[in-house]
Amino acid sequence: MHQYRPALIAGLLAMLALLVSLPLAAEKADQNSADAGHQQAWWTSLQNLCGQAFAGQLVRAPADDATFRDREVRMHLRHCDSHQVRIALVIDDDRSRTWIFSRDDDGIAFAHDHRQPDGTPEAVSDYGGRTVNAGSADSQMFPADDHTRRVIAGSGLRSVWLVEIHPGQRFVYAANRVGTERGFQVDFDLSQPVPSPPAPWGWPEPDPS
């Protein structure tokens, strides 16, 4: 009879390990579901703005950066599908900028598309980042990706973008360089849509949504 004890003990230990792992696996599955829920909620809020345009106001910027200072700023959500949202960012008559949000199984990517008036890409374009965590239902963070580290010398490695959506209130775009005081933020008023600006440079008009 003693010869069966090692096998019996091994079986009991295997069963115990399985019983311990089940709650952990369930907890991990619940966490993954919650993470997906946060990004889905944020993505839904973004999709709900499609076709509309909103006015923006500069909140903070470095003293030597006059890109948005005392200028008319509008964003227009011109294109939306299940995987991508494109937002034209118009500053006075400058239509060179388009924000591109793309979603896949690994999260959400955020890119800055910059074009010349003839539609050709600027020297620095397509930079941005990708989510590395679930974020929250109203806030997603995009640390710089490898392409950004290459094209934005010196600052790309430390760049991170934060995009908040507070339905019916405001849309926040913030860019920061970690470890420095250089930060930028513009808030858009979601409570009052404005007339849509002309198409951004390099993108067709009309742009189907």
In this structure, the number of other CB atoms found within 10 A of the CB of residue 41 comes to: 15
Q: pTM score, two decimals?
A: 0.80
Give backbone dihedrals phi and psi of 39, rounded to 5 degrees, phi first. -65, -35
Tens-of-pLDDT digits for all 209 residues of the chain? 455 555 556 555 555 555 555 554 444 444 444 567 999 999 999 999 999 999 999 999 888 777 788 899 999 999 999 999 999 999 999 999 999 999 999 999 999 999 999 999 999 999 999 999 999 999 999 999 988 888 776 555 578 999 999 999 999 999 988 766 678 899 999 999 999 999 999 987 654 44
Decide: 121 and 108 in contact? Cβ < 8 Å: no
Q: What angle do CA 66, 72, 76 make, to 5 degrees?
A: 115
